């Protein structure tokens, strides 16, 4: 598959478990300033690594490895299933216990091996809610860039509401 094709979200959605109340995804999620980021990609893409980097920079864990998403009040929400609540895998170290909380999801990032230097922002519909989808490759600065993006999205929502 060409790494520059439009989003492979159909691939990661194939691994989801839908129900009428929501959907269980193989993904991670973090929250920054009330806005959440759903992190998707194939196994080994770096979802947990990116999550740990973002937590070290000030993000809050929502969920690691499995994320329950649902719609409430016209928003997409994410939380950890009870079995993994407050746990994150640190490869070669073990399972770490950490504070976690549910969050509204403001954006999705799909990790890929390669992306164009300036990939277009796409959209994905999850649980009937449309959210921006960003394509990204792991890099030394990705966690920092995503924190800045989430803060910008939170400011944009505040300005749109006021």
CATH number at residue 23: 3.40.50.300
Question: Beta strands 129-137 and 17-18: pairing type?
Answer: unpaired
Considering the domain boundaries, does residue 160 fall inside one? no
Residue 80 sits at φ, ψ, to 5 deg, of: -85, 145
- What pLDDT is attached to residue 15? 53
- What pLDDT is attached to residue 160? 74
| pLDDT per residue rounded down to tens, the chain (162 residues) | 333 333 445 445 555 566 668 899 999 999 998 899 999 999 889 999 999 999 999 999 999 999 999 999 889 999 999 999 999 999 899 999 999 999 999 999 999 998 988 999 999 999 999 999 999 999 999 999 999 999 999 888 777 766
Q: Which residue has the tokens 């860039």?
A: 145
- What pLDDT is attached to residue 6? 39
Considering the domain boundaries, does residue 136 fall inside one? yes
Q: What's the total number of domains in the chain?
A: 1
Give the global pTM: 0.88
Domain of residue 136: give its range.
9-155
Considering the domain boundaries, does residue 64 fall inside one? yes
The CA-CA-CA angle for residues 67, 149, 134, to 5°, reads 60
């Amino acid at each position: 598959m060409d790494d520059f094709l439009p989003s492979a979200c159909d691939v990661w959605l194939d691994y989801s478990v839908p129900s009428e109340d929501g959907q269980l995804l193989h993904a991670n999620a973090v929250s920054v300033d009330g806005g959440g980021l759903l992190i998707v990609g194939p196994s080994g893409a770096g979802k947990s690594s990116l999550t740990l980097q973002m937590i070290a920079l000030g993000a809050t864990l929502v969920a690691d490895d499995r994320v329950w998403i649902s719609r409430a009040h016209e928003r997409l929400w994410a939380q950890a299933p009870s079995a993994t609540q407050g746990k994150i895998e640190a490869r070669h170290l073990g399972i770490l216990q950490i504070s976690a909380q549910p969050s509204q999801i403001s954006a999705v990032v799909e990790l890929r091996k390669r992306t164009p230097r300036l990939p277009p922002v796409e959209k994905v519909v999850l649980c009937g809610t449309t959210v921006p989808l960003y394509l990204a490759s792991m890099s030394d600065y990705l966690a920092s860039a995503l924190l800045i993006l989430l803060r910008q999205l939170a400011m944009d929502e505040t300005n749109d509401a006021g």
